[in-house]
Structure 1
Amino acid sequence: MSARTLSLSAGPVAVSVSRRELQVATLVVNVELLAVLAYFALTNASLSSPLFTLYGLLWVNLALVVFARYRPAAAGRRTRRRALAVVAGYLALLAVLGGVVGVAPPRTTPGVELALLPPGWGPALVVNVGVAAAVLMPAKVLGYLALAYLLYGALVDAAGAGIAGVLGLFSCVSCSLPLLAGAVAAIAGGGGFVASAAAGLGYGPSTLVFAVTVALLWWRPGIDLFG
């Protein structure tokens, strides 16, 4: 093991972290802590539920880890197009079920505003066009994009393994669970409009499912049996 690299292993999963990555991670965590302190110092909000704030930061940090470390396999143009088409539908489903986009609440005025939610969940951009509305919370936006990115990699890998690999992806419980778990996470999170987000209803279970989904989509235990 290099002095500049820390290697951790748990069964078949091995993770190597460079000193630079540790430094960046430490910087990110410190910035987040400062943001939390500043939010509660400069607003009238009270820290009534510390876990709600922690959940949002967990979503953000897991997503950042995915974007920083996960790299899908190379694939041909046809495979990429098909994978992207599936991912687009999956992402749209998560956005609707997770309350990122939906029907605008009654008697609301169309417009754009910034909701000052705790770091992770906020600041959230609220866009109301009259009929439909979107609440773009950093945790949900980054989290769902991370799931879509991991699903893209899973589809590319399955296509590279041929028909057996594709069948394995959707028949093996440990591989197909993330496709269901993503929707379950969205439903458990419940309506994503500002009032529900501020209450933090259901975000504990949805955070757990999100973390498990990330792990299964990343490592996909069992898919190699079908390659």
Structure 2
Amino acid sequence: MSTQYAPLTDTLRVPVVRWLLILSVAEAAALAVYLLFTPVHVDSLRYVLYPFIWINVGIAAVLVTTPSTPSRRLRLFAGVIAVAYFLVLATLAGLISVNVSALVGSGGHMHAAGGHPTGFQFSLAAPGWGPRLGYASDAFSVVFIPYRVIGFLALSYLIYAALVETARTALSGTLGVISCVGCTFSLAAGFSAGLAGGTGFLSALRVLSVDFSTVVFVAAVVLLVYRPSADGVAES
């Protein structure tokens, strides 16, 4: 049976388009205010716009995705997997980091002596990239980067919806979420968003990490929103 896909016009319903237009106007206004009142020079416009792609695509995907209503046990299972998935993405992207040696009681003094700032932190940045909130200690650190957090939350919600659907249909035995292309793509988005510095190939990847992670993120969202169901019709 061939796979059929729901028309885009069926997915992007009028209320969704309305909210996206309102969101886009608010983002444009925030960006204009930021550029007018901060001494910044934009070398590449795409890096200013990428966060809005993550935010808008993620929010649109959540608005058009309505998971089925499974049993309480299945909801709990899917919810635990989705939370774990978010934590994996956040760790790959550097939003969460843990100093294992400090947690087990060794190396904590060395970390403090290294000059790393600790405590709550706040910094302004271009809309979507900021404002950034964070907390760092000798044992762990967390940072809130708006576009990444919103994007990863959207992916985790789509993972939840996919888990519920695949568990409910005949595909559950052959189409596991861990092996689905959309899930793998979103893991790649987290990895590429958090690429560290290096030499040669890694340095080149780091330069294009935002470009690559944005493409992968959008692809993952599309694959997770338009996933095939048991009857061959894409779910949305």
Higher strand share: 1
Q: Is the 8 A contact 2:186 2:216 kept in 1?
A: yes
1:101 to 96, 102, 105: 96
The aligned residue for residue 22 of structure 1 is 17
Offset at residue 103 of structure 1 (A): 4.2
Q: Is the 8 A contact 1:190 1:201 kept in 2?
A: no
User: In 2, distance between residues paired with 1:121 and 1:91?
Assistant: 19
2:175 to 150, 159, 169: 169
Deviates more, 1:25-34 or 1:210-219: 25-34
Q: Does 1:123 align with 2:131?
A: yes
The amino acid that maps onto 2:154 is: A
Q: Is the 8 A contact 2:20 2:56 kept in 1?
A: no
Aligned to 2:174, the other structure's residue is in SS state helix
Cα deviations by residue, 1:124-174 (Å, 9 ceiling, x for unpaired):
11221232111211111111111110011111111111xx42123239x9x
User: In 2, distance between residues paired with 1:107 and 1:60?
Assistant: 34
The aligned residue for residue 182 of structure 1 is 186
- Cα distance, 1:42–1:200 mapped onto 2, change above 3 Å: farther
Q: Is the 8 A contact 2:166 2:229 kept in 1?
A: no
Deviates more, 1:21-30 or 1:124-133: 21-30
Cα deviations by residue, 1:92-147 (Å, 9 ceiling, x for unpaired):
11110011111478522212122212111211112212321112111111111111
- Cα distance, 1:181–1:21 mapped onto 2, change above 3 Å: closer
Q: Does 1:113 align with 2:114?
A: no
Offset at residue 19 of structure 1 (A): 4.3
Offset at residue 217 of structure 1 (A): 0.9
The structure with higher relative contact order (CA 8 Å, sep 6+) is 2
Number of positions where the alignment pairs a residue of Structure 1 with one of Structure 2? 206
2:36 to 36, 41, 44: 41
Cα deviations by residue, 1:61-91 (Å, 9 ceiling, x for unpaired):
1111123221111110011111112112211
Q: Is the 8 A contact 2:16 2:63 kept in 1?
A: no
The aligned residue for residue 102 of structure 2 is none
2:72 to 73, 77, 81: 77
TM-score where L is the length of structure 1: 0.81
The amino acid that maps onto 1:93 is: V
Q: Does 1:151 align with 2:159?
A: yes
CA RMSD between the two structures: 2.6
Aligned to 2:56, the other structure's residue is in SS state helix
Aligned to 2:135, the other structure's residue is in SS state strand
Aligned to 2:176, the other structure's residue is in SS state helix
The aligned residue for residue 26 of structure 2 is 31
Return 5+ residue gaps in structure 1 as ranges.
1-10, 193-198
1:50 to 20, 28, 45: 45
User: In 2, distance between residues paired with 1:41 and 1:157?
Assistant: 47
Aligned to 2:147, the other structure's residue is in SS state helix
Return 5+ residue gaps in structure 2 as ranges.
100-110, 197-205
TM-score where L is the length of structure 2: 0.78
The amino acid that maps onto 1:217 is: L
1:203 to 210, 213, 224: 210
